[in-house]
A and B are shown apart, each in its own frame.
Chain A
Amino acid sequence: MGELYLEERLDFLNRSQNADGGWGYFPGKQSWFEPTAYAMLALNGAPDSERSLDNAWKLLRSWQTPDGSWRPNGRVQGGTWVTAQAVTLACVRGVDDPSVRASVDWLLRVVGAEHSLGMRAASRLHLLKTKLDVSHQGWPWRDGNAAWIEPTSHTLVALKKVAGNYRRAEMNYRIREGEGLLFSRRCSDGGWNCGNPNVLNFDLPSYPETTALALLGLQGRSAQELASPLALARRLRGETRSPLAKAWLAIALRCHGENIEMPAATPVSNDVMLTALEALGHPLGNFGLLRTTGVHA
């Protein structure tokens, strides 16, 4: 049963690839970077997938911009957070060329706008409506905007995967800063939401899927630091009804070495991203491609 679960999902992904080489969020729709990245990770190493993965990578590379960032879709101008996914994919594919290094440089250059001097001053003067520590440098969805948990987590995974190739002090500094941002924005229940743990003195609850992503970003941190959020992640996985949250939690917990039970037998969804993440999170899936180690100061 377990292998059939995975095979059905990989088969769906194989069948839903667009002619241009990418995947849409749903079959037959425009190709987007995000579902394409997850589909590529899920299919990595699958029998007879090499050519389709090459086509996908070729399409994604055509979306890189001159500043090193990557566009989320062929119709959208300007690079975004998917640049982190591009670096992760490049690492998985063993690509380390000047264009990928330009992407890494872009990630190292981009900082959440709430870290600006003005915002830090406003924070010190208690002028912000949120109890937010703006002293750390994280990553935004788009350059020029504030940092949030999800893009910061994806970027941490990417930078940790390639850190060994660079050995730059700046790289380690930004990784530490990004981790600091994640720790500073934990919700009072121990997990993470999109990045606002408190508004107007009211604590906001964490989200299961974002808690999973933050745990991916924090791989390599000490067991003591992560004991509480990992325990929460285990509990959330049992409680949440969201298939997307379940898939991300399975990936995160497995990357942290947890031996969780097989996923329940469910029909394959028409949602490409969800299906790819479910395949990645399967015990025989490619979740290990998102596994990283920490960096040392």
Chain B
Amino acid sequence: MTRRQFIPLAGIAATAGYASLKLQKPPKLPDGPPGNSPVAILRAGSYSEDLVSRMMEGARLCGLDARGKRVLLKPNLVEFSSSTVINTDASVTAAAVELFHRLGAAEVRIGEGPGHRRDTLDLADDAHYRAIVPKFESIFTDLNRDDVSPVRGFANEPEFYFPNTVLGADLIVSLAKMKTHHWAGVTLAMKNFFGLVPGSVYGWPKNKLHYIGIPESVCELNRVFRNTFAIVDGVVGMEGNGPIQGTPRSAGVLVMGRDLVAVDSTCCRIMGIDPEKVNYLGLAAKLGHVHAERIEQRGETVASVRTNFALIDEFSDLRLV
């Protein structure tokens, strides 16, 4: 019996953040919802390129309509470290602000609720958001400390609380970073929604989500919030021991789409990871498309931009053959 097989048999409650005991993946994934999902892959070799034009092209390829909508951009701001690639690059967020204004959004806001650090605004400042994103402070909401309202039916909880800025948005855009993750395997557009959960209610870290289960929480967040879009910053991602202590890895892409399951599955394939072996994507297969044949790849092909990200030993079995 392997160590991993022993864990569920022993009936030990998994405590991600402390234990995060990895479960076996289901043998076969469901087909997902009807139809196919378009996902656009755009080349972007550096942050100094014209990212707005790339995103405009991606929006066109995905048929994105943001006219008149209140848009909430949700970047991935995790840790103070301006010298590495933990956070969604400020240039990507600034370009996304411009993109949605050009697409006719009624309002564009930025919101984030980091999981560990409490000084959200200073974290954003350290990541150069104040310097690069026009009028940043006036459009930014610390989701950890926003007003909240209850939502029923999240993970079988009688009430679960979310920031009013999130609940009031017509479109939530996951501005994720392409990274490996030492608990979940990868962190991409779907897991980025952990930052929608308010620390003022659930703490730093949002330990309640760990007890629900990381894969289960990722899926619940994406089940509850369906009016979403993703732009994944893979210009420079993170490989190895992500999401904080990994090393930079240039994939030179932006990945965009309305189906976040399909976006994450595409990102996995670009990273040389088999999405069907990633636990949360296995659970999410009823929400969107994991299977490659159900994803309409637009822009670049996966093969043309594939960049194998280094994996820690714990996740070496995720490698796409």
* A interface list, Cβ under 8 A from B: 24-26, 29-30, 32, 34, 72-73, 75-77, 80-81, 113-114, 116, 118-119, 121-122, 127-130, 132, 134, 140-142, 144-146, 148, 150-151, 193-194, 196, 199-200, 202, 204, 207, 209, 241-245, 271, 273
Contact A132 B119, beta carbon cutoff 8 Å: no
Contact A242 B119, beta carbon cutoff 8 Å: yes
* Contact (A207, B117) CB under 8 Å given A30-B148, A148-B207: yes
Q: How far is the CB of B204 from chain A (nearest CB, A)?
A: 6
Stretch at the interface among B14-22, B217-225, B256-264, B273-281: B14-22
- Of all A-B residue pairs in the complex, the 3 with the closest CB atoms, nearest first, are A141-B203, A25-B145, A145-B207
Chain B residues with Cβ below 8 Å from A80 are 201, 203
Contact A150 B204, beta carbon cutoff 8 Å: yes
Q: How far is the CB of A275 from chain B (nearest CB, A)?
A: 13
Binary contact readout B45-78 vs A (1 if CB under 8 angstroms, 0 otherwise): 0000000000000000000000000000000000
Chain A residues with Cβ below 8 Å from B116 are 193-194, 207
User: Is B126 among interface residues, defined by CB-CB distance under 8 A?
Assistant: yes
User: Is B104 among interface residues, defined by CB-CB distance under 8 A?
Assistant: no
CA distance A128 to B116 in the complex (A): 20
User: Is B300 among interface residues, defined by CB-CB distance under 8 A?
Assistant: no
User: Is B211 among interface residues, defined by CB-CB distance under 8 A?
Assistant: yes
CA distance A141 to B210 in the complex (A): 13
Q: How far is the CB of B196 from chain A (nearest CB, A)?
A: 16
Chain A residues with Cβ below 8 Å from B250 are none
Contact A130 B119, beta carbon cutoff 8 Å: no
A151 closest partner in B (C-beta): B203
Name 13 extra pairs, CB < 8 A, besides A29-B147, A76-B148, A129-B19: A30-B147, A75-B161, A114-B19, A118-B12, A127-B10, A140-B203, A142-B208, A150-B204, A193-B116, A194-B116, A242-B80, A244-B118, A271-B121
Contact B314 A200, beta carbon cutoff 8 Å: yes
User: Is B3 among interface residues, defined by CB-CB distance under 8 A?
Assistant: yes
What are 23 pairs between A and B in contact, CB < 8 Å?
A30-B148, A72-B201, A76-B201, A77-B150, A77-B158, A80-B203, A119-B13, A119-B18, A122-B7, A129-B20, A130-B17, A130-B18, A142-B208, A146-B17, A146-B210, A148-B203, A148-B204, A150-B204, A196-B17, A204-B244, A209-B119, A243-B122, A273-B145
Contact A25 B122, beta carbon cutoff 8 Å: no
Pick from B15, B118, B150, B205: contact of A113, CB below 8 A: B15
* Contact (A146, B15) CB under 8 Å given A77-B159, A200-B314, A204-B244: yes
Chain A residues with Cβ below 8 Å from B12 are 118-119, 121-122, 127
CA distance A138 to B245 in the complex (A): 27
Chain B residues with Cβ below 8 Å from A128 are 18-19
User: Is B11 among interface residues, defined by CB-CB distance under 8 A?
Assistant: yes
Task: Count contacts on B: residues with CB < 8 A to the other chain.
Answer: 49
Chain A residues with Cβ below 8 Å from B244 are 204
CA distance A150 to B144 in the complex (A): 16
Chain B residues with Cβ below 8 Å from A207 are 116-117
Q: How far is the CB of B201 from chain A (nearest CB, A)?
A: 6
B7 closest partner in A (C-beta): A127
Contact B200 A200, beta carbon cutoff 8 Å: no
Interface centre among B13, B18, B146 (most CB of A within 10 A): B18
* Contact (A209, B147) CB under 8 Å given A73-B200, A134-B18, A194-B205: no
Contact B207 A127, beta carbon cutoff 8 Å: no
B4 closest partner in A (C-beta): A127
CA distance A121 to B205 in the complex (A): 24
CA distance A246 to B96 in the complex (A): 33
Q: How far is the CB of B214 from chain A (nearest CB, A)?
A: 12
Contact B241 A244, beta carbon cutoff 8 Å: no
Chain A residues with Cβ below 8 Å from B136 are none
Pick from B10, B211, B312: contact of A145, CB below 8 A: B211
B117 closest partner in A (C-beta): A207
User: Is B149 among interface residues, defined by CB-CB distance under 8 A?
Assistant: yes
Pick from A26, A114, A194: contact of B145, CB below 8 A: A26
Chain B residues with Cβ below 8 Å from A241 are 122, 125-126
Q: How far is the CB of A268 from chain B (nearest CB, A)?
A: 15
Contact B314 A75, beta carbon cutoff 8 Å: no
Interface centre among B6, B183, B203, B210 (most CB of A within 10 A): B203
CA distance A80 to B200 in the complex (A): 10
Contact B245 A202, beta carbon cutoff 8 Å: yes
Interface centre among B145, B159, B241, B245 (most CB of A within 10 A): B145
* Contact (A242, B148) CB under 8 Å given A134-B18, A194-B204: no
Q: How far is the CB of B57 from chain A (nearest CB, A)?
A: 37
Q: How far is the CB of B290 from chain A (nearest CB, A)?
A: 26
Contact A127 B145, beta carbon cutoff 8 Å: no
Chain B residues with Cβ below 8 Å from A134 are 18
CA distance A29 to B147 in the complex (A): 7
Binary contact readout B129-150 vs A (1 if CB under 8 angstroms, 0 otherwise): 0000000000000100111111
Q: How far is the CB of A213 from chain B (nearest CB, A)?
A: 10
CA distance A122 to B203 in the complex (A): 25
Pick from B6, B20, B205: contact of A148, CB below 8 A: B205
User: Is B202 among interface residues, defined by CB-CB distance under 8 A?
Assistant: yes
Chain A residues with Cβ below 8 Å from B241 are 200, 202
Chain B residues with Cβ below 8 Å from A77 are 150, 158-159
Chain B residues with Cβ below 8 Å from A116 are 13
CA distance A121 to B12 in the complex (A): 9
Contact B182 A199, beta carbon cutoff 8 Å: yes
Chain B residues with Cβ below 8 Å from A132 are 18
CA distance A295 to B20 in the complex (A): 35
* Contact (A73, B201) CB under 8 Å given A196-B17, A243-B119, A244-B122: yes
